[in-house]
Structure 1
């Protein structure tokens, strides 16, 4: 992994700020370039799942690397522990992307209170779900100077999850008939979810649907054990504590937001991203923003990169931890240069 090593030619400050609405504080690191300031700034917003300020995954710390690279180029960076992680209060259970957007906005408000930051030049860089949060905030807050979406969703959550599952299983060599059954079941799972706020009702209806669906199949194909194990795994994959998050994500469609995003946008996806498939998502972001008249929109699909922006072979998630690279250097350089063009 490419972990930045001290001594650093910039200042690192341990900071905390408050989500006033929910009454807890979040802990983070603010890196400040050399010099007097005021500096342009970027806030880093992590992808789904509870992550620390470095967005640490499989021994890699992409947000630590990103903060290091940007701060060396004169951009202050605030990264923070997600709620319920590290030095941040609150709890991820029951919270949705909408709640997490409130945490990111609290980070923004903290920078607005800090005079070493240029208040007219604060942007948001979001990875995966963080890209979705960047779109949410930029559509409703006109004081955001720029956003960078790194593998952010351009289409609704249900579509993303169905296509992700189908693509990963096809790359993994799963037979097309099993993939088709899986798609029918998961479509029903998400449709039942969209119709029911109650986890218990959802659980009952999913069990009813899957039992009926598999009982009508040719039983030579799936054993009773397969079916029971499948049901158990399915329910375990969406526990009650994350149901509110999942339901919000499945129902969320970013496309109406694009009409009201007027700040500069850089949207990037790896060509081998298996989790947020590049063509459909990038095309939707590009079309939405350009149709709404946002001409300062730059989108790109980056050859050979996966969901974490590592150069890779397959792009499958089981490869993330094996790869030595944390984040493609050319992409880091492109992001730095693009931000400097927007803020100067």
Structure 2
């Protein structure tokens, strides 16, 4: 049972690109009816160069602007996944509505320097802060109307950046977490397995297995090699000969990645409670990776506890983690859906931003 569950989850994720469709009707094609400029700027805190694309209308000035912050794993400026380019679609839509957009290659991806998998959350925060400083230098942009749109892990980073920078005018959290990382990952595992039809005894066993691993991670103190060793020993004792040593090694290495360790240990309570700027938090009812009800309720509660009066949360029916209209919400469905990003969600985001940047 244990081995089959692990194999099934791995195959579900890996198989997505294999069955990816090429028909992506929302993807914009050149020539664009706005300015699209490739740019580079420095993250001086970490001494790396970052690359991206800024888009803004051809006519006018002092545009409101947003920085797009990607979810987990190294992604390019379009946040390309399974032939979908959601950040390109979002940027195209917002720019046509008069909102400038900066989207950036994650460090170590595309034309950006650095190493994603050797970086913790603090590094990603520094990258976004550097993007903010860059936008403030652009003559086309109104520096008092710059906001952040963070998806998934980006929704964790956005409030931290807003806490550190009073220049952040607003944030939009898309499928962002309201609970600590380990709790979210256990809930995600449970929801996905239940939707896949895994027997309840298997779900319970899987929860217990991963709780043990997360407890080790929660106690770890910035020693990656030591953490890998402890996780490897834990999984070896847990699975014995049922799981090959190389798979145990791979699992231990993946769970020891600095950004993932930081996420598992991170509790967004502090950053959300201290966020004073306007916040829009959206999630799909079919999101199995960051379940909507549990997280939206927490996000709203934490934001309002410390006096933030401009908080909007909304659950959008039938949308999955990527904001596609979906049937099941399972990850293996992402590639088969032609839609890249829900037009309804785009409309809500745009209307909300415009109301706060008049």
TM-score by length of 2: 0.89
Match of 2:165 among 132, 141, 146: 141
Question: 2:188, 2:254 → 1: CA distance?
Answer: 22
Question: 1:36, 1:178 → 2: CA distance?
Answer: 59
How far 1:319 moved relative to its partner? Answer: 0.5
How far 1:205 moved relative to its partner? Answer: 3.0
SS in 1 for 2:335: coil
Give the alignment of 1:286-297 within 5 angstroms.
286-297=300-311
Q: Match of 2:243?
A: 228
Moved more, 95-104 or 232-241: 232-241
Match of 1:159 among 183, 194, 201: 183
Question: 1:241, 1:304 → 2: CA distance?
Answer: 31
Note if contact 1:258-1:292 (Cα within 8 Å) is conserved in structure 2. no
Q: Match of 1:53?
A: 77
Distance 1:200 1:25, change over 3 A: closer
1:301 aligns with 2:325: no
1:100 aligns with 2:114: no
Moved more, 195-204 or 40-49: 195-204
Q: Match of 1:284?
A: 298
Question: 1:19, 1:202 → 2: CA distance?
Answer: 29
Gaps (5+ residues) in structure 2? 1-23
Give the alignment of 1:1-344 within 5 angstroms.
1=24, 2-196=26-220, 197-213=222-238, 224=241, 227-229=242-244, 232-239=246-253, 243-344=257-358
Note if contact 2:224-2:256 (Cα within 8 Å) is conserved in structure 1. no
Question: 1:332, 1:42 → 2: CA distance?
Answer: 14
Question: 1:198, 1:175 → 2: CA distance?
Answer: 37
Deviations 1:141-171 (A, max 9, x none): 1110000000011111001111111111111
SS in 2 for 1:109: helix
Gaps (5+ residues) in structure 1? 216-223
TM-score by length of 1: 0.93
RMSD: 1.6
Note if contact 2:158-2:171 (Cα within 8 Å) is conserved in structure 1. yes
Distance 1:188 1:303, change over 3 A: same
How far 1:206 moved relative to its partner? Answer: 3.1
Deviations 1:92-115 (A, max 9, x none): 131012211110110000011112
Aligned residues: 333
